[in-house]
Amino acid sequence: MFPVALICTLLVVLVLQTHALFIPDTTSSDSSTAVDIPLFRRSYPQGVDDVKRTAEYLRAKYGYSATGEFLGITSPISIISGIANGTVPTYYGAISIGTPPQNFNVLLDTGSADLWLPSTPCACGNVTLYNSSSSSTYKTISSPSNGSITFAAGTVSGTIGNDTVSMGNFTVPQQSFLLVNQTNLGGGDVLPGLMGFAFQGLSFINATPFWQTIVSRGQLSVAEMSFYLARVLEQAASPTGVQPLTNPGGVLTLGGVNTSLYQGCIEFTNLTSSSTYWTIPIHNITVGSKNITLPYPLAAIDTGSPYIMGPLKQVQAIWAQVSGDDLGDGSFQLPCNTPSFQVTFSFGSSAWSIDSTDLLIPQYNNSAMCTGAIISLAGSNNNVNPSDSNSPSWVIGEPYLRNVYSVFRQSPPSVGFAQLSSAVIGGKSGNPGGSACAVRANAGARAIVWAPWSSIVVVVVTLLVM
């Protein structure tokens, strides 16, 4: 009798184990409740000075002073001064706020965590202003104690308020945000609105960001935000000044992924910390066959950065491979007709190549020289070594993100990349290097799990046979 019991037990165990192996991975799915938000990109023809100014904005955003010293603090000043002028060419999506709803296109920024809106009676340039008096759901929360936030290029004043904010069909009734009602920016400057998609720890007003609220209230069936950023390049030789938001710029999917936008698997890399930026380590960077050594590999994945920023030595090493001229302040110039070259960033076990057209920024005066889109985060300072180990040394912005499908996942906190679908890439080669696409970082979640009933069945079957 005993051997039969043993064999039966083993059989049951085998059957259950086979079942367990096929427990599906449900952590990322093309959920029917996922909602697509169309994106727009403002083209901003840039001169060398515009690139330098935007680079300064990004340094301040990540806590570096103009001289490259790491201060470790960011201030609202850096955000507002950077986006004023509309000089940050980046991706916009629609939100509505108030009752009845007032509609805005705001910059979508995974590198900050607040919602800012230009508000009446601001002289914020040719932008739509939010009017709190005409919203029945608006509540003033507080005014900055000294009434203003001062920054180098002017003064911004405002109030912190709450109102109903919607994006797609997701709504947060009491979202705290900053209403900018006064600036002393120049006549041609434009201050658009901005919505931050980073973590609450980065919020200047310590408000829960919109995306974290919809996640915590269970409005997303899958706690993911996925971006396809279309390749809309800066137009050289077009009129200077702020361009209208006419370029289709891709798709933000809230609550999962859109399977028609990517192919293959998504490789997730766990965040090193989930309190501020979306930070993951870069595995390696190669230019052609040259491997760039990375003493400080931590990178923030930032849809609100028009450039890739990194430590001076590594940025120099990258441009040295394609004879970029060092302009002495951490930015580089090279002929716009430089033959196509390949820069690859690897995360986890996948390597992603950047199309070299994404790395050359044309100038509005049609100069034969382009500015390189990989710039030193600390300017001419070599010493990018933030004392806070969670502070990124690299900022991975649009030039990289246009080449992949990117997924920002809340649990486990991670960023995933996948290859864009051929439909989306069109004729252009997205990732000639391709993705290794071998593993998903959440493989652990698929480990064989014994349901409690399985051991009961084993015991019962064993007893019956005996």
Ligand X SMILES: *[C@@H]1O[C@H](CO)[C@@H](O)[C@H](O)[C@H]1NC(C)=O
170 forms part of the interface with ligand X (CB under 6 A):
yes
Q: Are 130 and 122 in contact (CB under 8 A)?
A: no
Per CB under 6 A, which of residues 334..363 are in contact with ligand X? 346, 349, 351, 363
Q: Which of 137, 283, 321, 425 binds ligand X (CB under 6 A)?
A: 283
Q: Which of 174, 273, 390, 454 binds ligand X (CB under 6 A)?
A: 174
Strand partners, 238: none
Please identify, using beta-carbon distances, which residue of 68 and 125 lies nearer to ligand X. Answer: 125
Per CB under 6 A, which of residues 361..390 are in contact with ligand X? 363, 365-367
Residue 239 DSSP symbol:
P
- Rounded to whole angstroms, how far apart are CA atoms 289 and 320? 13
Residue reference for tokens 């595995």: 283
Q: Are 85 and 74 in contact (CB under 8 A)?
A: no
End-to-end CA, the chain: 6
Catalytic entry in 109, 114, 189, 358? 109
- Judge whether 25 counts as a catalytic residue: no
Taking CB under 6 A as the binding criterion, the range among 19-27, 168-176, 273-281, 320-328 that sits at the site for ligand X is: 168-176
- Judge whether 388 counts as a catalytic residue: no
Nearest to 55 by CA among 66, 43, 70, 71: 66
Per CB under 6 A, which of residues 83..112 are in contact with ligand X? 84-85
Q: Which of 212, 258, 276, 331 binds ligand X (CB under 6 A)?
A: 258
Residue 451 DSSP symbol:
-
Q: Which of 186, 288, 426, 432 binds ligand X (CB under 6 A)?
A: 186
Return all residues near 455 (Cβ < 8 A) that are at least 6 apart: none
* Binding residues with ligand X: total (CB under 6 A): 65
What is the closest distance, in whole angstroms, from the C-beta atom of residue 332 to ligand X in the complex?
Answer: 14
216 forms part of the interface with ligand X (CB under 6 A):
no
Taking CB under 6 A as the binding criterion, the range among 185-193, 272-280, 303-311, 373-381 that sits at the site for ligand X is: 185-193
Q: Which of 37, 124, 165, 207 binds ligand X (CB under 6 A)?
A: 207
With the C-alpha atoms ordered 51, 54, 60, 63, is the resulting torsion angle positive or negative?
negative
Query: What is the identity of the amino acid at 86?
Result: G
Rounded to 5°, angle at Cα 280 from 309 and 388: 75
- Rounded to whole angstroms, how far apart are CA atoms 147 and 82? 20
32 forms part of the interface with ligand X (CB under 6 A):
yes
Return all residues near 408 (Cβ < 8 A) that are at least 6 apart: 110, 197, 224, 225, 226, 227, 278, 301, 415
65 forms part of the interface with ligand X (CB under 6 A):
no
Q: Which of 235, 270, 273, 380 binds ligand X (CB under 6 A)?
A: 270
CB-CB neighbours of 351 under 10 Å:
18
Please identify, using beta-carbon distances, which residue of 214 and 322 lies nearer to ligand X. Answer: 214
Return all residues near 429 (Cβ < 8 A) that are at least 6 apart: 355
CB-CB neighbours of 234 under 10 Å:
24
Residues with active-site annotation: 109, 302
Q: Which residues are near ligand X by CB under 6 A?
A: 32-33, 35-36, 47-48, 53, 81, 84-85, 120-121, 126, 131, 133-134, 139, 141, 143, 146-147, 149-150, 153, 157-159, 162, 169-170, 174-176, 181-182, 185-186, 189, 207-208, 219, 244, 251, 258, 260-261, 270, 283-284, 286, 291, 293-294, 346, 349, 351, 363, 365-367, 412, 436, 441, 444-445
